[in-house]
Structure 1
């Protein structure tokens, strides 16, 4: 009987999680299984993976096949790397102490990467929340200002009257008088007739 490590779907629509199981490769995906090895929840960041490391390593060592997703999960948890090191012991390339030392160093490095990713994700969430609150405060302020401007009483425009023209200066008046023509006095007809008669007598 060919055995396969694969995922078995559970949960509800839009929020699925999975059981990591060992099952007959001919069985339906969500049908009967031989052994449950752990769970996988992709709804968290990073994804939550909880498996029985020793039992999973035993099944991998006996040659159980793996689906692509199951292989990625076991690689992430270090099962495949530990199995690779154990094969090195079987070939005489490594000792048991070397296996434990290398695997512990790998786990420490992996843990540091996961911690860094988790902290970075937490910081990004905090920044996004801070930006959202700042944008919300600005929107509320603008809305309050618009309402205040709408409800404020209208101010009537005051039209300033034109100031009366300034009085002309004496110099300007003198100039105007100088340029105004002086009327010529009319001649008296009687006086003119007397002057003409006198001129005739003298001749």
Structure 2
């Protein structure tokens, strides 16, 4: 098993603090205190709080984008693609719920170059998802509900999973995947 580098430890500790307090409220001193080191020691591994935020958000956004691109470009049917997308979100959430808080709540604090890059990835991701749904409706693989309601309902649920799941001590990850796929794709009736 690979051990975390000091930079990864700093990023993971920061993600927890950003989730608890929000990016703007966290200082480098807060981060150093949480890690039990001096603030000056942080700068041996990172340049700034902005670098930490960018690393958290861009790495996650790229992981989602890469996964979505593979799914969207596959020859699978719509249901299989949607299941893969739900699985992607669940897997990333289980691995990095703290980082997802920054992705969803602190992205607007990114500096311009990274902000534009993130916004493009987010738009492209949503458009790929929308196109999968449109294609599924046209192929009669999914019901012809309003496309925007399908996109909003599904992505909103998946994007906020990081808030809900960590408090669900009695729900196994495999049950989460199976039941969430069923509920999101088939409804409750």
TM-score by length of 1: 0.26
Higher relative CO (Cα under 8 Å, sequence separation at least 6) belongs to 2
TM-score (norm 2): 0.27
The structure that is strand-richer by fraction is 1
